[in-house]
Amino acid sequence: MEPGLQTTSVAHVRSRAERRAAALRAESAATAALNTLGQKWVLRIVHALGDRTQRFCELQDALGGANSATLSQRLKLLEDEGLIDRRMVSEVPPWVEYSLTEKGADLRRAIGPIDLWADRWAATPANRQ
């Protein structure tokens, strides 16, 4: 190599998962929670499961016909977050039941005041000022 010439280092290219992990570390806990809770059906699932343990189809009916694939994804997300329990019942035919964990029940209680706020301030177009 000639004197005075320097090699340029190749910038480290991080994978999508590495970039996502770095971004998540930079977020506040509230922001991270809202990213999960803001996904379609999530709060309605938590609310519906607060009433009782439900099977997939019962939950789908309680939500007014959520798409099966989307509902499955949201249930998996909530299970991964520790908000719901998934219990396989091995009878003939086998089925799966979903219920809130202690963490999920605590979230449901926290949603109550938000519902009250929304009823007062966000429910009608006239209140959106």
CATH number at residue 103: 1.10.10.10
Give the domain range for residue 108. Answer: 41-122
Residue 128 lies in a domain: no
Q: What's the rounded Cα separation, in Å, for the pair 33 and 12?
A: 30
Q: Which residue is associated with the tokens 């959520």? A: 66
Q: Into how many domains does the chain fold?
A: 1
Three-class SS of 7-27: CCCCCCCCCHHHHHHHHHHHC
Residue 66 lies in a domain: yes
Instruction: Kindly give, in sequence order, each residue whose CB lies less than 8 Å from that of residue 25, ignoring residues fewer than 6 positions away.
Output: none
Q: Is 107 part of a structural domain of the chain?
A: yes
Evaluate whether residue 70 is within a structural domain. yes
Say whether pLDDT at 1 is over 60. Answer: no
Q: Is the pTM of this model over 0.85?
A: no
Which residues lie across from 87 on neighbouring strands? 97
Residue 64 belongs to a domain: yes
Which range is least confidently modeled, 3-17, 51-65, 74-88?
A: 3-17
Q: Let me know if residue 4 belongs to a domain.
A: no
In a domain, 98, yes or no: yes
